[in-house]
Structure 1
Amino acid sequence: MKLKIKNKGDLIRLRNIIAYKVFKNSTKINKFVGYRIPRRKCDNYLVKSLIDITQIDASLIVDEVNYYGKMTMENRFDLLGSGWVRYRCDIKDDFRGQYEYRGIPWNVDIKTGYRWAADYLDENDCIHSPEGVDIKNVWELGRMNYLVPFSLHVLSETDRELQMAALIHYRNVIEDFTKNNPVGIGVNWVLPMEASIRISNILISYDVLKQTDDKDILDTEFTILIGQLVYSHIKFIWNNLEKNIFGGKNGNHYYSDIVGLLVATGYLQNKNVFTKKVYNYAREEFFKETKEQFYSEGGHFEGSTGYFKLVAEMAVFGTAMLIRNGEVIPGFVMERLYNNKNLAVSLRKTNHSYYSFGDCDSGRFVKVVPHGRFLSNSEAESKYLNLDGYTKIYGKAEKYFLEDDSSMDSLIRYTDGLIANTKNDTPSLEAVMVYQLAGKRLNYQKKYTNGNMGAEQNDKKVQISLNLEQSVLEKYPIKKSTELIDFKTQNKLLDFTLFSKMGFCVIRSDKASLLFRFGTNERSGHGHNDTLHYEYEVDGISHQKDPGTFTYTGYPEKRNAYRSAKAHNVPYYGQEQREFQGIFGYRTADNREIVEFTKSAIAVRYRNMYFEHIRRIVIRDNKVLVEDYGKRDFDIHRKMQLRKSPAYGVIDRNIET
């Protein structure tokens, strides 16, 4: 194994590996690692309760939450398209010896059976695994997003025997992970981002469950273990902050690191010199990164609705922890939280599903209520190719919860729990949980009042005169026009909502909507070759949908196919808009510019090293028209029909046209 020493964290992990090789025992290892504290110092890392469970209305704990809870009791997790499969080692390991708990294979890709070595460290080798093997399957398991729904399920359980069994199961899971994933060693300690998400979910779930425990199942020893976990996660994240991923600019990984530190230090009963230093640093970095990574009009620079949702959730939870600690929240943070919600709402279709573009790895920071729908196992397998053979193991009739990873409902409701003057349609468990963490809600008076526009666009709307438009278009002799026959305006003025920084516009009527994606000139980490893509829906039926993401490292060729121009509804000139570099980067640059934006039209000019093109969407004579202008011939029909991937690892059985 080749180990490159880049920072203090690598040195500590190297020492951990040496100890692991010598002693092969986690108890002895912990004597040698820098991530463990002596028992006498554990008082500095004991956690307090922030959530008052008596204020949680049991009626808000919906069927989806209880389904998650029951599946977690069986160690069944649906992670990145795996289906609700059982994760189980052959070794029994139950702290009370009465419920036959079987450990979880924390370092195994459940889809392929590939097992990473227990002392694995190198991130590059994690990513460059055999074809079909995906490290994200392991990381998703280690994030423990299932623990908060599980804790709320336990809270709603009226059978005391079942509740006690669930508490024992929770303890077993935490002890299982701790024993088999010594700090700083193995695949679950490669990225601080994963550690940040994990400790946040552990702490919030522990907060809820500790208050339901009248049998002392989560006893003093376990409380000390939680304190050890808090310390080790703080120290690991602190020693390995993921800075400057984008050549001088930080991304979602660093933001996760910072928010994880805020949650972990915010839960401490007392802060010592070290944790005060960490908290103060995280607070200042949170304010700085929130201002730099999010646009004031709403949205995130990484070019993806999926990553926008993930990082926007982090922003809500980070703000909640700062409010709880008595901090004054700057106006620019509140502005971004408020407008992030507005952006999320703007992506909602008439059937309450959501538009999505760019990478979607199904990532969440904290999951309180999973959103989706229930099917039978048989229905799920017939719809999704990734579930082939599922019914042979689990039967056809069993209830199957299909999560909608494009849903923005949780983000919208989290924000409602933080900002007092947002509109609440109905009470939600997500809003209650965020409010409980923050301890109060803040008022925010938005600066712009016209709800039809992105927050900044009222002042910056560009209206190009017809003469100027014609003079520009004359430079593009090749014109093709497409009428969206089923999208009728019904002689009504349509709403145009523009988010120019994140690079999209939504055109909406009562029964239909259209998303026009034109991208951004800023370097983004998770954008696709989808500039000038449009899709629309009428009466809940979608047309020209974005293909999704499907995979990253598991199948590199498929990864690049799903992010290619050929897979999107864009003008095609025979080349990719940007040349691929690996599975995330691009070798070549491009440029786009809004050249028209009025109450009835939007036009964007796109340039790269191969071609120049204008796509214009205009409302004329009760019709919605898509007009394309080029300097040489081009194709406006999608060149590659892929099975849609509505979530990471999930793929439709049938090909939609």
Structure 2
Amino acid sequence: MNRLYIIQKKILNKIFSNLIKKFEKLLFFLRKERDFLNFKTEMVFYDGFVDKKAVIDQFKVQINLNAQIFEQADKLLAHRFNLLGSGELSLGQKIEWHHDFKSGYRWPKVFYQKLVEAGFDQYNQLKADIKVPWELSRLQDLITLGQAYYLSSDEKYTEEFIAKINHWIDENPPEVGVNWVSSMDISLRVISLIFAYFFFRSSPAFTNYFRNRYFSLLYYSGVHIEQNLEVSSSGLRNNHHLTNCAAMVWLGIFFKGYNKRANRWLDRGINDLCLEMDYQVNPDGGSFEGSISYHRLALEIFMFTTILAEKNIVCFPSSYKKRFEKMCEFTMHYIKPNGLAPQFGDADNGRFCILNGYGVDDMRDHRTILGIAGEYFQRNDFKAAAGEKIWDALWIFAKCQKQMDATLSYSKLIGYSDTGLYIMRNDRIFFVIKCGSIGQKGNGGHDHNDQLSFEVNIDGMDIIIDPGSYIYTMDKDARHAFRSTKFHNVSCLGDLEQNIIKNDTVADLFKMYSLNKGVRLIFNEEPPGYMNFLGEIVLGENQRIQYKRSVQLNEADRRIIIKDYFMGSQEKSTCRLHLSDQVKARQSGDKVAIIDSGKSKVEIRADEDIRIENCIISPSYGVKINSLSICWDFCEKTEFHISY
């Protein structure tokens, strides 16, 4: 009986799915431009868009920042972009929105469901990266164009903005082509379009005809997002769904009062945003993704959306606000002395919106969000941690008061047991190690085999770093390699992976097939002046081999002592340490390497003969650069010292 029921259910689901697809095709013909001539949005936008004089006066003082905006905006006028490792290049007079300009592949202009059904594996074979047209069509460059117009009132920026939007609409009708496949990217496009509206709305070139097209694009984007919310068949939700929720909030506020659908967007968006704060953010404030980069994305989503909603008389529970603040504290603590974030887990350059440094900033620099957090929570420590990147707050609050007397007093030890990140630091050392659960509640979509891997920054310079992510679906072999145990600063037992990862299909690239998590056993300062960490992970499905790593930071001797143990195996193991491309390394005897950062010399001394090998690291999505790694082989256990 149960089996018959399951078969009937599958048949009904198939019929229903086919009907939905036909209905969606019908919608393509029905979704003509709506009449918004009598509609005026009542959205209250950020203070920086109200007090224009305050913003302009501040930018007159910030000469370099002002110059950077216009320099980037003028490049955008010439259609010069730097996206996903492309380097700066011209996309020509007319942008090809369906084109991966890195590989040369062009997606067909067909009903988007056909592209979904075709899957991603064929693009891997063609070495085509679907993220390239998606990234371009997020239209996040519109914010830079808008800033240039806002600060100068030069209509050349408006002309480019209107021409670009008209061309995009003509080339991307609703439901047609690659840029309607991902609801997340549609959601991010919505955010860019609403930002741009408030930059350009006062221009005389913003005619009723253009306004109607613009609002129609926004409205039908909302319809599509609501009908294609990104939740897996198993119920798993991640940053994609979070972005969908935020877009519904933004659209619900923008179109509030237009019809019942728009009101529903707002109600559902706010409700789901609160649910995702509990679901996607750990109690200690770290993202559940297993990725530092995706934590920043999630924090930006919550930050910009919460502030906007509250300006439009939306209230959030106190529990939501407390966890939101914890996200900011987590960010403040993981940022290294050089302003960059560690690269644990995936990093694809994803941003909710970019208010500064579009196309030029180091994507590992997460400080901009702390400037906004400092103003919002009125916390001087957040402002101090933001440093020179505090000025994004100006667009949000029309003020940006850098606290000259604000000093940061970090704890020597701070641990995030829910997220699995442990930090040791003093005035010269920043040491961070990963040890915790698998991201996305065990799915591992954006996690790597990097349990017990670490980064070291000494005197403000990166010494040992995580190699990054490099690429996603375009090259599944490279994707698999950068996720693997060998690409992290750990000891490897032969070819044994910490967790099973596959690359048979593109779907495998965003999943882990085992749940071997890191377990922290010790994290303390005993006795004073000695910071200690001990963690372990059990490897293998049948062998159950214990891998333990202990770390002791001896402040008096200026030395980090690390010991690795494999219990249950006597096979040959290899320890690898990946160096920053900004340092020089040379061997000094059989067991010693000298690292020169330009500010200090660091000695790495192992108990076995070492070798210095070439390796590849990726500081940004789509970018590969050469660097060096220090390696040595051992059996069962090894000990090495990092002296500075």
Assess same fold via TM > 0.5.
yes
Q: Does 1:147 align with 2:142?
A: yes
User: How far apart are 1:358 and its partner, in Å?
Assistant: 0.6
- 2:227 and 2:532 map into 1 onto residues whose CA distance is 51
Which of 372, 375, 378 aligns to 1:414? It is 372
Q: Aligned-pair distance for 1:502?
A: 1.5
How is 1:245-260 mapped onto 2 (pairs within 5 angstroms)? 247-260=234-247
Aligned to 2:215: 227
The correspondence for 1:542, drawn from 453, 457, 462, is: 462
Whether 1:562 aligns to 2:482 is yes
Matches within 5 A, 1:272-351: 272-351=259-338
Q: Are the counterparts in 1 of residues 451 and 517 from structure 2 also a CA contact under 8 Å?
A: no
Q: Which residue of 1 aligns with 2:82?
A: 78
Q: 1:605 to 1:570 in 2, by over 3 A?
A: same
Question: TM-score of the superposition, structure 2-length normalised?
Answer: 0.78
Deviations 1:190-231 (A, max 9, x none): 0111111001111112201223x2xx1111111112211221
Deviation at 1:71, TM superposition (A): 1.5
- Aligned partner of 2:59 in structure 1 is 58
Asked if the contact 1:286/1:318 (under 8 Å) is kept, the reply is no
- Contact 2:523/2:534, CA 8 A, preserved across alignment: yes
Give the structure with the larger strand fraction. 2
**8 A contact 2:391–2:400 mirrored in 1:** no
Whole-angstrom CA distance in 2 between matches of 1:49 and 1:501? 37
Distance 1:552 1:118 in 2: 23
Structure 1 contact 532–571 (Cα < 8 Å) conserved: no
Once the two structures are superposed, the pairs formed by residues 207-606 of structure 1 within 5 Å of their partners are 207-211=198-202, 213=203, 216-244=204-232, 247-268=234-255, 270-370=257-357, 402-423=360-381, 424-425=383-384, 428-435=390-397, 495-521=412-438, 522-523=441-442, 524-574=444-494, 575-581=496-502, 582-599=508-525, 600-606=531-537
Aligned residues: 538
CA deviation string 1:296-330 (max 9, x = no partner): 32110010011111111001122122202212222
Report the equivalent of 1:67: 71
What's the offset of the Cα at 1:572? Answer: 0.9
How big is each residue's C-alpha offset from its partner over 1:452-483, in whole Å with a ceiling of 9 and x where there is no partner?
56xxxxxxxxxxxxxxxxxxxxxxxxxxxxxx
Deviates more, 1:130-139 or 1:51-60: 51-60
Separation in 2 of the partners of 1:48 and 1:7? 38
Task: Give the distance between the partners of 1:296 and 1:195, measured in 2 at CA.
Answer: 30
Equivalent runs, 1:35-184 vs 2, <5 Å: 35-36=31-32, 38-39=34-35, 43-44=38-39, 46=41, 48=43, 50=45, 51-52=49-50, 53-56=52-55, 57-59=58-60, 60=62, 61-88=65-92, 102-119=93-110, 121=112, 122-123=115-116, 125=118, 127-128=120-121, 129=123, 130-157=125-152, 163-184=154-175
Q: Note if 1:652 corresponds to 2:625.
A: yes
The whole-number CA distance in structure 2 between the counterparts of 1:332 and 1:602 is 31
Distance 2:489 2:17 in 1: 43
Structure 2: distance between partners of 1:172 and 1:549: 35
Give the direction of change, closer, same or farther, for the CA distance of 1:10–1:325 in structure 2 (3 Å limit): farther
Give the drift of 1:517. Answer: 1.3
Are residues 4 and 206 of structure 1, via their aligned partners in 2, closer, same or farther at CA, if it must alter by over 3 Å? farther
Compute the RMSD of aligned alpha carbons. 2.7
Identity rate of aligned residues, in percent? 22
Q: Is the 8 A contact 1:193 1:257 kept in 2?
A: yes
Distance 2:264 2:237 in 1: 21
What is the Cα deviation at residue 433 of structure 1?
2.5
Whether 2:2 is the aligned partner of 1:15: answer no
Separation (CA, whole Å) in 1 of partners of 2:33 and 2:94 = 26
Secondary structure of 1:586's aligned partner: coil
Change (3 A) 1:573 1:308: same
Q: Which amino acid aligns with 1:220?
A: N
- Code of the residue aligned with 1:580 in structure 2: it is I
Task: Output one character per residue of 1:58-91: Cα deviation in whole Å (capped at 9) or x when no partner.
Answer: 3455343333211211111111011121123xxx
| Per-residue CA distance 1:421-465 (angstroms, 9 max, x = gap) | 4543479432132336xx999xxxxxxxx9756xxxxxxxxxxxx
Report if the CA contact (8 A) 2:393-2:400 is conserved: no
* Structure 1 residues 62 and 514, CA gap change in structure 2 (3 angstroms): farther
CA contact (8 A) 1:5 1:11 kept: no
> In structure 2, how many angstroms separate the alpha carbons of the residues matched to 1:111 and 1:635?
39
Query: Are residues 36 and 81 of structure 1, via their aligned partners in 2, closer, same or farther at CA, if it must alter by over 3 Å?
Result: same
Question: Is contact 2:539-2:547 (8 Å) kept?
Answer: no
**What CA distance in whole angstroms lies between the structure 1 residues aligned with 2:116 and 2:354?**
26
Among candidates 520, 528, 553, match of residue 619 of structure 1? 553
Q: Which has the higher contact order (CA 8 A, sep 6+)?
A: 1
Where 1:206 maps in the other structure, the secondary structure is helix
Please give the alpha-carbon distance, in whole angstroms, between the structure 2 residues aligned to 1:429 and 1:209: 21
Pair 1:114–1:497, CA change in 2 (3 A):
same
Structure 1 405/417 Cα, relative in aligned 2: closer, same or farther at 3 Å? same
What per-residue deviation string (whole Å, max 9, x for no partner) do you get for residues 475-531 of structure 1? Answer: xxxxxxxxxxxxxxxxxxxx1121112211111111221111123243232000011
CA gap 1:363/1:545 in 2 versus in 1, 3 angstroms: same
Deviates more, 1:5-14 or 1:290-299: 5-14
- 1:637 matched to 2:593: no
Structure 2: 5+ residue runs without aligned partners? 1-13, 402-407, 503-507, 526-530, 578-612, 631-644
Distance 1:4 1:613 in 2: 50
Aligned partners of 1:139 and 1:187 also within 8 Å: yes
Q: Against the structure 1 CA distance between its residues 45 and 655, is the aligned structure 2 distance closer, same or farther, given a 3 Å change threshold? A: farther
- Once the two structures are TM-superposed, the CA of residue 593 in structure 1 deviates from its matched residue by 1.5
Alpha-carbon distance between aligned partners in 2 of 1:603 and 1:86, rounded to the nearest angstrom = 51
- 1:127-161 Cα distance to aligned partner (Å, 9 max, x none): 2213421000111001111111221122223xx6x
Q: Is this contact kept in 2: 1:595–1:604, CA < 8 A?
A: yes
Tell me if the contact between 2:429 and 2:457 (Cα under 8 Å) persists in the aligned partners: yes
Question: Is the 1:120–1:186 contact (alpha carbons within 8 Å) kept by the matching residues of 2?
Answer: yes
The answer on whether the counterparts of 1:417 and 1:434 sit within 8 Å (CA) in structure 2 is no
Question: Displacement, 1:627?
Answer: 1.7
Partner Cα distance (1:322, 1:594) in 2: 39
The answer for the alignment partner of 2:598 in structure 1 is none
The one-letter code sitting in structure 2 at the alignment partner of 1:125 is A
